[in-house]
Amino acid sequence: MTDTKRSSQLVSAALQAREVQLLLLTLVVVLIISNLTPNFLTESNLKSVAMGMTYDLIVALGMTYVLILGGLDLSVGSNIALTGIITTLLMQKGVVSVPVAIGIGLSVSFIIGAINGVVIAKFRINPFIVTLGMMSLARGGAMVLTSGYFVTGLPESFLMIGRGEIMGIPFPVIAALLIVIVFDFLLKNWVHLNRAFPVGADPDNAALLGINVNKTVVLGFALCGLFAGIAAIFMCSRLAMGYAQFGLEIELRALGAAVIGGATFSGGRGSIWGTFLGVLLLAIINNGFVLMDASIYWQKVVNGTILIIAIATAVRHSRIK
Amino acid sequence: MVTKMVRKLSEHTNLGLLAVTVGLFTVMSIGYSHFFTLYNMEVIAMGFIQEAIMALGMTIVIISGGIDLSIGSVLVLSSILVGLFLKADLGVALSIFLTLCISGSIGFANAVMINRLRAHPFIVTLGTMTAVRGFALVITEGHPVTGFPKSFSYFGQGYLLNIPFPVVLFIILAIVFHILLRHTKYFSQVYFIGSNPGAARLCGMNVERFRWMTYIISATLAGTAGIITASQYISANASFGIDAELRVITAVIIGGASLSGGIGSIGRTVLGVIFLAIVANAMVQAGVPTYWEKVAYGSMLVISVVLEQYFRFRRTGIKDNWRDFMLGGN
């Protein structure tokens, strides 16, 4: 008797968790889409869904982290474009070897994020306006560098990063999953990352507790930039080029996914696995639209609507708590 | 005497920016013979007219402590809708009226969501920005809308007393909003509400109702800009107004409004608009590749905010609390 009571309590507690709710919702969406179109549950389609969500997933991790800090980063998409252009240009011209080019590219992405963080923390300016400016600046920089042309003719060894497969699974997918697992573990257990929670929940209080809020914010934004840089390397390698229009609107999808996954704009809350499920859900819905031959333009409407719905549910969630 | 005049002037406008604007204007006039001509003055004015009209609404929204990112998308939707209405033979007046009503209702929806969800206006209007532009793409399927009646072209191309009609409209709107903000009791609440919404609520002001008004004005002005764009190009295209919100916000902030609310004026915004219009024209005259435009706007936005914060800190010696500038509040 008590056993059944306890297990029912456990079940209801599990159902309260954002991750479990999301998982069930995703399963329902999968069931609906696979009933509507036979093409969904095929190996090649699932592979393309997994590959397509990889970039969003990596970017969304960094976005989740700055959301936990109580900020947001609109410049991730432009960061992808600029980092990709710089990395591919270096390799195309043969100035440096492939690993060095990647290293420089990742440093650029880290520095872009760090500049965001420094301006935000040093001058106490709303992250929104700073990253909006950086979004325009970095995208403009990518266009200035290439005059809008593709950067192609990249070395074969670089292309292998995005195209290699291990047991039929594309390498970027495996790398993204590994990053999720490691980042989730570090966020929960490593003091330096875990600080984001008290800082986001109440920064002034965190400062009183002796946490260096400035440093946490700067490093948080730099980390977010670095994640965008990693996504850029995979994207350029997979598509075999650098292009100034890469990563357009990825910030919207990343924000939507992170908020669906339980992050809030008021900071102090967010979950890596929640974000993972949010990205998965968005990817499956968008894939469903493509498979069902719906106009590609509906995707924009759906992405915007999902963002608003996610905010609405996030607000209800926090009110109940 | 002179200091008194300067002080009086600085109440109405941003002196530093005024000096920079006059300096840029002088340099351009001396350096480029085509710059200071009547024709180029018209090009400058018309090149930035959509942003100028939308900046008036954005000023009110920003003073009240909000922000509206959806204006570029409302501009597109309105230019497409007015085209579709005109093609459906609804007549010019009715088409414009319906378009403005629909634009205004998007602003209303923004305000209601901000009020009900208690979410930051950045996020809510970011959502409507995507959804509305997506909707504009859906109804046109990416094709331009063409075939407008001739009489409609007056709004974008006509002249009134030898001045382009949109410029006349902008001047009238600027004067009207200036008077409303400075000299009417209802609208001047915006400064109090923007600097301290909590206290305003305690004083019995209906902050939520006031927010409806600010966002409806902003969206209706974006709708007006959309109609003018459609009339200028005699077509409507889902790629109109991309990044318009960035240019508009930059103009308002450079003019001297504060994103934390409570500070700003129509006069300052008009100066910010004139400055950006001259910069845009100067870059073309000097043969700077168009790709630099995005870099220029992005860096001007960040630099102006940084300078504003720096001088405020120098003046008051007080740094903001973290809570005040991160997205938390509301």
Query: Can you list the domains of chain A with their CATH numbers?
Result: 18-320 (1.10.3470)
Yes or no, beta carbons of B327 and A299 under 8 Å apart:
no
pLDDT attached to residue B248? 92
Facing A300 at nearest CB: one of B130, B294, B324: B130
Q: What's the pLDDT tens digit per position in A173-182?
A: 999 999 999 9
- B20 assigned to some structural domain: no
Residue A246 has pLDDT above 80, yes or no: yes
B70, part of any domain: yes
pLDDT tier at A220, thresholds 50, 70, 90: very high
Tens digit of pLDDT at every position of chain B (330 positions)? 667 776 666 666 677 788 888 888 888 888 888 888 888 888 888 888 999 999 999 999 999 988 899 999 999 999 999 988 988 888 888 989 999 999 999 999 999 988 887 777 888 888 888 888 888 888 888 788 887 887 888 887 888 888 888 999 999 999 999 999 988 888 888 888 888 888 888 888 888 888 899 999 999 999 999 999 998 888 888 888 788 888 899 899 888 888 878 888 898 899 999 999 998 888 888 888 888 888 888 888 888 888 877 877 777 766 666 655 565 443
State the total domains in chain B: 1
For residue A15, pLDDT over 80 is answered with no
> Hey, of A136, A252, A255, A286, which one would you mutate to test binding to chain B, going by the most B CBs within 10 A of its CB?
A136
Cβ distance of B298 and A300 shorter than 8 Å: no
CB within 8 Å: A307 and B126: yes
Give pLDDT, residue B330: 37
Asked whether the beta carbons of residue B131 and residue A301 sit closer than 8 angstroms, the reply is yes
Give the model's pLDDT for residue A205.
86
Minimal Cα distance from A214: which residue of B? B322
In a domain, B17, yes or no: no
Binary contact (B294, A140; C-beta < 8 A)? yes
pLDDT of residue B9: 66
Domain limits at B90? 39-242+258-263
ipTM score of complex: 0.79
User: What are the chain B neighbours of A126 within 8 Å (beta carbons)?
Assistant: 259-260, 325-327
Q: How many CB pairs under 8 A join A and B?
A: 166
With CA atoms as reference, the chain B residue closest to A133 would be: B298
Question: Does residue B303 fall inside a structural domain?
Answer: no
Give the pLDDT score at B135: 86
Query: From the list B117, B243, B259, which residue is nearest A315 (CB)?
Result: B117
B163: closest CA of chain A, how far (Å): 33
Residues B330 and B121: their CA atoms lie apart, in Å, by 9
Assigned domain for B91 exists: yes
Task: Give the tens place of pLDDT for each residue, A48-98.
Answer: 889 889 999 999 999 999 999 988 899 999 999 999 999 999 998 888 888
| B106 vs A contacts (CB less than 8 Å) | none
Residue B85 lies in a domain: yes
Asked if residue B190 is part of any domain, the answer here is yes
| B19 part of a folded domain | no
Among candidates A136, A308, A315 on the partner chain, residue whose Cβ is nearest the Cβ of B298: A136
pLDDT over 90 percentage in chain A: 39
Is the CB of A135 less than 8 angstroms away from the CB of B119? no
